[in-house]
């Protein structure tokens, strides 16, 4: 009887944890309607990446596109949908990041930009900091990064 109960538990666990690729992770907040509303309300033209990150191109770039193994030099302003700024580079200063050292949504957005491009990257909370933010970021916040890709190293 104990074997049957154990097998049943293992079977149930497998069945409930298996999902197809289109399913939303259980811990994810569905930010898509709010992001689409923001895009529409602000009359933005956005493209969506394979992860569901949105890019609004302001200035077209003509250089290379970074890969996940690159180091990038950027200027950026990080804010929430309500416009409150939580982080930014100052003036003409830049920041240098390893593409693997930033949140998934930011690197995904950068991978779709060219050197010289300025774009607004709109990141669903599950590809930002989610429910476990650091440095004072709001829980489950949709993040916006107005970003200029200056250089790839």
CA angle centred on 66, ends 119 and 148, rounded to 5°: 25
User: Which of 114, 110, 141, 147 has the alpha carbon at shortest distance from 35?
Assistant: 141
- Residues known to be catalytic: 76, 86-87, 103, 129, 145
**Cα–Cα distances in Å, from 35 out to 7, 40, 52, 61?**
43, 9, 10, 24
**C-alpha–C-alpha distance, residues 120 and 109, integer Å:** 9
Main-chain phi, psi angles of 20, to 5 degrees: -85, 170
**C-alpha–C-alpha distance, residues 79 and 63, integer Å:** 26
Burial of 81 per CB tally in 10 Å (0-12, 13-18, 19+)? middle
């Amino acid at each position: 009887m104990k074997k049957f109960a154990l097998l049943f538990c293992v079977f149930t666990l497998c069945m409930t944890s298996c999902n197809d690729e289109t399913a939303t992770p259980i811990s994810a907040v569905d930010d898509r309607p709010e992001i689409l509303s923001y895009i529409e309300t602000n009359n933005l033209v956005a493209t969506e990446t394979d992860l569901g990150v949105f890019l609004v191109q302001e200035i077209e770039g003509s250089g290379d596109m970074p890969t996940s193994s690159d180091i990038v030099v950027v200027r950026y302003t990080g804010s929430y949908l309500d416009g409150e700024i939580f982080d930014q580079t100052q003036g003409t200063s830049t920041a240098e990041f390893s593409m693997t050292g930033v949140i998934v949504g930011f690197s995904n957005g950068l991978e779709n930009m060219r050197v010289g491009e300025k774009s607004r990257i709109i990141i669903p909370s599950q590809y930002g900091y989610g429910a476990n933010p650091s440095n004072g970021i709001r829980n489950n916040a949709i993040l916006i990064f107005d970003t200029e890709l200056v250089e790839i190293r």
